[in-house]
Structure 1
Amino acid sequence: MTSRAPDVNVPMFTRRHMVGGFALGAGLMAAGAWREKNAAANQLTPEQVLSSKLDELAQTYGADELSVAAFNHVTNQGFQYHPEYRGYEASIVKVSIALAVMRFQHEKNDQLTDEQNQAMKASIEQSDNDATSQLFGMLGTTNTERADFLNGTYQKMGVTNTSSSEGWGSNETNPVDQVQIARTVYDGAEWANPNDVDYLRELMHAKDESQSWGVGALKESRQDDQDVLCKNGWLPDTDNLWNLNTVGVAILDAGAFSLCAMTKGFEDQTQGEKLVSDSIAAVVEAMVNHNDKIQ
């Protein structure tokens, strides 16, 4: 398989039959075991059933690790699967950088400039790294200043376990934090101009093929009155195995859901993409079918 190149400006790393009564008795024993198993299953909460489904998906695809988080904007309830996960941000950080630039402009009582609009369009729609570096460079005169401003924006979004160490893309994050960021995209923020946030939402409509998996895969089954916003990221680790991330918002008849799935340990990049896509689909199905019980 030919993998896409890393979508962040960081260096590539190196690395990794009985008869008669016996048959009847066996059949009754099997039936009894089946009833016990299903009785136990019926006692599981919807959240436990979903977690079990995600366990199966991770095993099927051979993932080293899988983590998923979601927030239901109707019920104000969330779901977390392996929230202890840590993995590279890769290009999902581009959403945060875009929001940070909006905050930077808002603090100057200004909106995004034409230059910033164009850079943001390339950064979000095509996952362009040069455009992202351009945007990051607008946050300060030094990398320390830029990182501090981005970290301040994380803090305003309620992000607690993600931070920039004078750069972007190769810092670590988790789906719990990324759902907080997706919630900001959906809800807006007092420190960002509403028109600018609307522009970001438009850019996240997953028009490019690179954004068609993960949350972006949901757009294939959406109706005209529904909406899907997505940003994907991919990056190899120190063993040259892929980290695959997806974050976004699904606005469906049953409500709106902020979503993120992250996985790693894949030699085959496409397998990781399929896993996060199936994981997101499983979470959305569970939250739609059990709208007030997944928490």
Structure 2
Amino acid sequence: MRRHVIVLALAAGATGAGLTAHQLISDAPARRRGAVVVATESIAAGRGAALVRAPTRPFEPAALRQAVRAYLDTRPGEAGVMAADLRTGLSFGENEKGRFVTASIMKVDILSSLVLQRQRDRSALTAGERQLAEPMIRESDNHAADALYSAAGGASGVRKANRSLALKNTTPFPGSWGSSLTTPADQVRLLKNLVSDKSPIKAPGRRYILGLMGSVLDEQAWGVSAAARPGERVALKNGWTPVRHQGQGWAVNSIGRVTGRDHDFVIAVCSGESPTMEAGVSTVEHVAEMVVSTMRDSH
């Protein structure tokens, strides 16, 4: 049984202000995959002491790609991943241009589009829009998403905003935002727009969106958080839905940012045609952890 505890990150000078850390505390031993455990004693003992770092090795994307493909060959359905370390400049993709049903990860695109539109109108989100944005991201409220999708101009409004955000392979679906299509590569571009000073979305808007992503409900803090290590901060949004008209099985996706002392990862893992939601979550978490772990130990 895994319990999720959200802890506010207060480290002075840390990047990604406004995020919270999703610290996943497992009732099993701490080495369990996907568990991020608070290492209070280790941190305290290490103060003032020299840190011993494991030697890095050259990054070999071909070997990682082979490993990811070998794992996915054992899993039902299909998946794609894109990840980038904003500190080291390393990036990796496997089936990153594959098209997947968005489900609720589309809610980040909806909010980003609306923030950008209001910014260009030299205004801000209304109080009512903020009251909808919080449950849309933190609780994955679909009714709030319906209202904000409409406020953003629906498919045409989000499509126009996406051109400014360089999302070339995301297709907003008219009426039903969850039926939109996207790629892991596009989702990483969206995440980069939430962390970069070069983004058309200004800093207050970026902090606002990431702050909501950093405080999702405990039970929704799965997915790319499996790649986090003790003390690291996670901001994420997950999506999951049974698919009937655009395939079969479940679409299960996770996008987010994992920020630590030496790394700053933006990650998107999308999957489709899983027989159950649980199977999709397992695939997404394993791929995220596999890719990020390899990139951490490389240079």
Q: Name the Cα RMSD after superposition.
A: 2.0
TM-superposed deviation, 1:45: 6.0
Residue 264 (1) aligns with residue 272 (2): yes
Q: Give 3-state SS (helix, strand or coil) of 2:236's partner.
A: strand
Match of 1:59?
A: 73
Aligned residues: 239
Give the distance between the partners of 1:81 and 1:248, measured in 2 at CA: 17
Aligned AA (1:211): Q
Give deviations 1:242-267, integer Å, cap 9, x for gaps. Answer: 01101011112222111001112222
Question: Structure 1 residues 182, 161: CA separation in 2 closer, same or farther (over 3 Å shift)?
Answer: same
Q: Is the 8 A contact 1:112 1:196 kept in 2?
A: no
TM-superposed deviation, 1:49: 2.2
Give the distance between the partners of 1:206 and 1:286, measured in 2 at CA: 27
Higher helix share: 1
Match of 1:47?
A: 61
Residue 75 (1) aligns with residue 88 (2): yes
Question: Structure 1 residues 207, 45: CA separation in 2 closer, same or farther (over 3 Å shift)?
Answer: closer
Give the distance between the partners of 1:210 and 1:240, measured in 2 at CA: 25
2:165 corresponds, among 136, 149, 157, to 157
Match of 1:6?
A: none
Give the distance between the partners of 2:190 and 2:90, measured in 1 at CA: 16
Q: TM-score, normalised by structure 1?
A: 0.75
Match of 1:242?
A: 250
Match of 2:221?
A: 212
2:145 corresponds, among 126, 132, 144, to 132
TM-superposed deviation, 1:190: 5.1
Give the distance between the partners of 1:158 and 1:208, measured in 2 at CA: 29
Aligned AA (1:115): G
Runs (5+) with no aligned partner, structure 1: 1-43, 141-145
TM-superposed deviation, 1:57: 2.4
TM-superposed deviation, 1:77: 3.7
Runs (5+) with no aligned partner, structure 2: 1-57
Q: Output aligned runs, 1:89-108, within 5 Å.
A: 89-108=102-121
Q: Is the 8 A contact 2:269 2:287 kept in 1?
A: yes
Q: TM-score, normalised by structure 2?
A: 0.74
What percentage of residue pairs aligned between the two structures are identical?
25
Give the distance between the partners of 1:58 and 1:288, measured in 2 at CA: 21
Q: Give 3-state SS (helix, strand or coil) of 1:187's partner.
A: coil
Match of 2:184?
A: 175
Give the distance between the partners of 2:85 and 2:237, measured in 1 at CA: 19
Match of 1:197?
A: 206
Residue 122 (1) aligns with residue 149 (2): no
Give the distance between the partners of 1:190 and 1:253, measured in 2 at CA: 23
Give the distance between the partners of 2:129 and 2:96, measured in 1 at CA: 34
Question: Structure 1 residues 106, 74: CA separation in 2 closer, same or farther (over 3 Å shift)?
Answer: same
Q: Is the 8 A contact 1:98 1:120 kept in 2?
A: yes
Give the distance between the partners of 2:76 and 2:118, measured in 1 at CA: 41
